[in-house]
Chain A
Amino acid sequence: ETGVTQTPRHLVMGMTNKKSLKCEQHLGHNAMYWYKQSAKKPLELMFVYNFKEQTENNSVPSRFSPECPNSSHLFLHLHTLQPEDSALYLCASSQDGQGQFFGPGTRLTVL
């Protein structure tokens, strides 16, 4: 148990579907992050939230829409995705930049 949980762990969706990824952290941290991990590429930062406010949007396409209702929960809403969006999506949290704790990820396949 890492203190950061993600659901679902696996997701298969069509290009016209709408789905959401959920992340919850039980560590009392003030910052949460979404990353994309693709094969043979560096981990790509997508979004950063600090005290529920978005502080980074790393030029992510609008078909990915984050939501952070409170410091413990983070969502990634997905719609009209492309096959190249298939990847492992990782959530992380941290407190005052003291090193990020990662969840297990959601393995997303877009057909």
Chain B
Amino acid sequence: AQSVSQHNHHVILSEAASLELGCNYSYGGTVNLFWYVQYPGQHLQLLLKYFSGDPLVKGIKGFEAEFIKSKFSFNLRKPSVQWSDTAEYFCAVKFYNTDKLIFGTGTRLQVFP
């Protein structure tokens, strides 16, 4: 079955620390990959996406993600987090030729000043 895994459920960091959130998906075919962020009390927002081309994609607010096809992974990174990055982060995968977007369970990030 198609599935998306986010292994880090809760991450706590100090400001300026580096961040990497893991995302793996189960299917081996063509996929489109997304990271969404949900700030406290706000709606889900698209952070970045990968469709094709350069496997290192840059998103808003200094975030980037790297698609590694051989590992079925799309990890999210940020070199130096800020308190304002406190939010929940969701990885999502759209499998080829469907309208379905499969989400991971989310990772709650807390950044302390």
Contacts and interface: CB of A to CB of B under 8 A. Distances in A.
A74 interface: no
Interface residues of B, number: 22
Interface in A3-61: 31, 33, 40-43, 45, 48, 50, 55-56, 58
A103 interface: yes
Interface SS majority for chain A? loop
A42 B99 contact: no
Given A33-B99, A101-B46, 11 more contacts: A42-B4, A42-B102, A42-B105, A45-B102, A48-B100, A55-B99, A58-B100, A92-B44, A97-B99, A98-B49, A99-B34
Interface of B: 4, 32, 34, 36, 42-46, 49, 90, 92, 94, 98-106
Interface of A: 2, 31, 33, 40-43, 45, 48, 50, 55-56, 58, 90, 92, 97-105
